[in-house]
């Protein structure tokens, strides 16, 4: 049975000792759905550091920072080659059926280095700084729509539209298709959509991205797709399927992740009036606060495939075994973060939300900028806000930890 397939294994593989079996269904676990990060902490406290769960086709989970670092730094043994179009960042648990190669995430070093290089410069902190004004304008337009109402569903009103609109700008997509594309993006990342529908949505998204690529093949503009078309991959330009692979990865990578990182962060502030007031009074504290919110509320988990039999932190893994690296759990690992459940400004340890190693998030500068500008504007304009006492937030599980609804109120 393929890992991440949605079905439960009838028998545990022979090489998995009973003491390492821990029943955890990341899509349906009730404690996960009640509070995803409290569940991550409980996995640190209750489950073996590397455990096998028979759910979703049967696979390993890794929860500790050092083990995840060791795995990520050894791509020869722990490969990313199992990433498919429907898997990466998508929160989807179906077997991979890639129509194209997701770039650069599905490729292992040394080839990965060549595919990653064209993204490094356009997404460097200096380059994305040019988007700051656009992010500020988009944020304010979204705030304008909800401010007077004294309430909003933060997820659908703010967190979802912001990164989609930004992606369209970054990728040079026509803004007259904004509403249509935003709807497709929301459905593509929604937990409520079934697999067949999602496949159809991905085809439509790929179709729109393909049109943008073709348009830029005809005429270059000042955008990422144009830059990538002229990129040099070991002496040649990317092919059309490679361009599609880059575009889809950037689209998926920059959407669901930012939506949920923003939503969990805002939920934290809605429950911590003191911190809200502190950040309003001194916005220069924001970058530090954002880093600690990113640690507390990691959102992406990432898979690896074992390429040969190996012993990992005392656990026998077999060639072909699938692992899910629970980055949000690693942020609650006491061995790496003292008092991990507390919000502590100015921690020096590197959190795992963007992972580490060769695939460490290439969009992290953009993600941080989006969050900084968003919090600056939101805290400046929106009065002290809190969770709607009539409608508590709702969450969902899967590959990624996600918010499905976040009603807020203010006076
Ligand atoms: C808070 C927001 C974000 C989080 C939590 C996040 C998380 C991650 C993580 C954990 C990885 C590593 C996956 C692995 O090790 O297999 C990754 C890779 C990646 N991310 Fe992000 N990401 C975020 C925002 C973004 C944005 C805004 C973009 C687009 C500009 C983006 C594009 C990518 C790409 C292209 C990769 C693949 C890098 C490679 O394979 O070398 N991400 N991200």
Ligand 1 center to residue 188 CA distance, Å?
A: 17
- Domain annotation covers residue 80: yes
Q: Indicate which atom in ligand 1 lies nearest the CA of residue 302.
A: 16
Least confident range of 40-49, 90-99, 119-128, 140-149: 90-99
- Domain annotation covers residue 13: no
DSSP E strand boundaries for 125-203: 151-153
Q: Strands 78-79, 302-306: parallel, antiparallel or unpaired by DSSP?
A: antiparallel
Q: Indicate which atom in ligand 1 lies nearest the CA of residue 327.
A: 10
For residues 374-397, give the mean pLDDT. 97
Ligand 1 center to residue 388 CA distance, Å?
A: 31
Residue 258 has pLDDT above 60, yes or no: yes
- Domain annotation covers residue 106: yes
User: So what's the pLDDT on residue 167?
Assistant: 87
Residue of 233, 253, 296, 351 to test ligand 1 pocket, by largest number of atoms within 8 Å of CB: 253
Q: What φ, ψ does residue 132 adopt, rounded to 5°?
A: -60, -45
Nearest CA to ligand 1 atom 20: 361
Residue 75 has pLDDT above 50, yes or no: yes
User: So what's the pLDDT on residue 254?
Assistant: 84
Tokens of 351: 């959190």
Q: Indicate which atom in ligand 1 lies nearest the CA of residue 103.
A: 40
Share of the chain above pLDDT 90, in %: 77
For residues 97-105, give the mean pLDDT. 76
CATH code, domain with 237: 1.10.630.10
Q: By residue range, what is the domain housing residue 211?
A: 18-410
Angle at CA 180, nearest 5°, toward 99 and 221?
Answer: 75
pLDDT band at 1 (very low <50, low <70, confident <90, very high): low
Please report the DSSP string for 183-246 in residue order.
Answer: HHHHHHH-TTS-HHHHHHHHHHHHHHHHHHHHHHHHS--SSHHHHHHT--BTTBPPPHHHHHHH
- Domain annotation covers residue 9: no
Q: Specify the number of domains making up the chain.
A: 1
pLDDT band at 87 (very low <50, low <70, confident <90, very high): very low
Nearest CA to ligand 1 atom 40: 105
User: So what's the pLDDT on residue 191?
Assistant: 62
pLDDT digits (tens, 9 = 90+) for 227-238: 999 999 999 999
Nearest CA to ligand 1 atom 21: 361
- Domain annotation covers residue 255: yes
Residue 203 has pLDDT above 90, yes or no: no
pLDDT band at 197 (very low <50, low <70, confident <90, very high): confident
- Find out whether the beta carbon of 231 lies less than 6 Å from any atom of ligand 1: no
Share of the chain above pLDDT 70, in %: 94
User: So what's the pLDDT on residue 190?
Assistant: 66
- Domain annotation covers residue 379: yes
Residue 169 has pLDDT above 50, yes or no: yes
pLDDT band at 89 (very low <50, low <70, confident <90, very high): very low
Ligand 1 center to residue 55 CA distance, Å?
A: 26
User: So what's the pLDDT on residue 91?
Assistant: 38
- Domain annotation covers residue 173: yes
Ligand 1 center to residue 168 CA distance, Å?
A: 17
Residue 301 has pLDDT above 70, yes or no: yes
Residue 92 has pLDDT above 60, yes or no: no
- Find out whether the beta carbon of 80 lies less than 6 Å from any atom of ligand 1: yes
User: So what's the pLDDT on residue 128?
Assistant: 94
pLDDT digits (tens, 9 = 90+) for 334-373: 999 999 999 999 999 999 999 999 999 999 999 999 999 9
Tokens of 212: 């943008």
The per-residue pLDDT of the chain, averaged, comes to: 91
- Domain annotation covers residue 298: yes
């Amino acid at each position: 049975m393929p890992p991440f397939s949605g079905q439960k294994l009838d028998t545990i593989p022979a090489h998995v000792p009973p003491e390492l079996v821990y029943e955890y269904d990341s899509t349906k676990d009730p404690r996960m759905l009640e509070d995803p990060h409290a569940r991550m902490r409980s996995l640190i406290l209750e489950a073996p550091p590397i455990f096998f769960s028979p759910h979703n086709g049967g696979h390993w989970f890794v929860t500790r920072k050092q083990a995840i670092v060791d795995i990520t730094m050894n791509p020869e043994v722990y490969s990313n080659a199992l990433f498919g179009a429907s898997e990466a960042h998508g929160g989807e648990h179906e077997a991979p059926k890639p129509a194209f190669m997701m770039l650069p995430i599905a490729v292992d070093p040394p080839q990965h280095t060549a595919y990653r290089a064209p993204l490094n410069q356009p997404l460097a902190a200096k380059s994305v700084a040019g988007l700051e004004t656009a992010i500020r304008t988009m944020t304010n337009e979204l705030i304008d729509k909800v401010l007077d109402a004294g309430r909003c569903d933060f997820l659908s009103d703010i967190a979802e539209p912001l990164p989609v609109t930004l992606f369209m700008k970054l990728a040079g997509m026509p803004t007259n298709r904004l509403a249509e594309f935003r709807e497709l993006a929301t459905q593509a990342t929604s937990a409520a959509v079934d697999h067949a529908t999602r496949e159809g949505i991905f085809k439509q998204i790929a179709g729109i991205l393909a049109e943008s690529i073709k348009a830029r093949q005809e005429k270059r503009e000042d955008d990422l797709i144009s830059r990538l078309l002229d990129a040099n991959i070991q002496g040649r330009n990317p092919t059309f399927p490679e361009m599609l692979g880059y575009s889809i990865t950037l689209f998926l990578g920059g959407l669901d992740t930012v939506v949920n990182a923003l939503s969990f962060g805002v939920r934290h502030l809605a429950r911590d009036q003191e911190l809200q007031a502190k950040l309003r009074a001194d916005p220069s504290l924001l970058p530090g606060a954002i880093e600690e919110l990113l640690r507390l509320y990691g959102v992406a988990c990432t898979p690896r495939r074992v390429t040969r039999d190996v012993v990992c932190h005392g656990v026998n893994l077999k060639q072909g075994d699938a692992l899910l690296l629970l980055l949000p759990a690693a942020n609650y690992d006491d061995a790496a973060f003292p008092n991990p459940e507390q919000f502590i400004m100015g921690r020096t340890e590197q959190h795992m939300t963007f992972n580490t190693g060769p695939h460490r998030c290439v969009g992290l500068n953009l993600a941080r900028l989006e969050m900084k500008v968003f919090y600056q504007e939101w805290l400046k304009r929106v009065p002290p806000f809190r969770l709607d006492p009539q409608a508590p937030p709702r969450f969902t599980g899967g590959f990624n930890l996600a918010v499905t609804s976040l009603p807020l109120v203010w006076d």
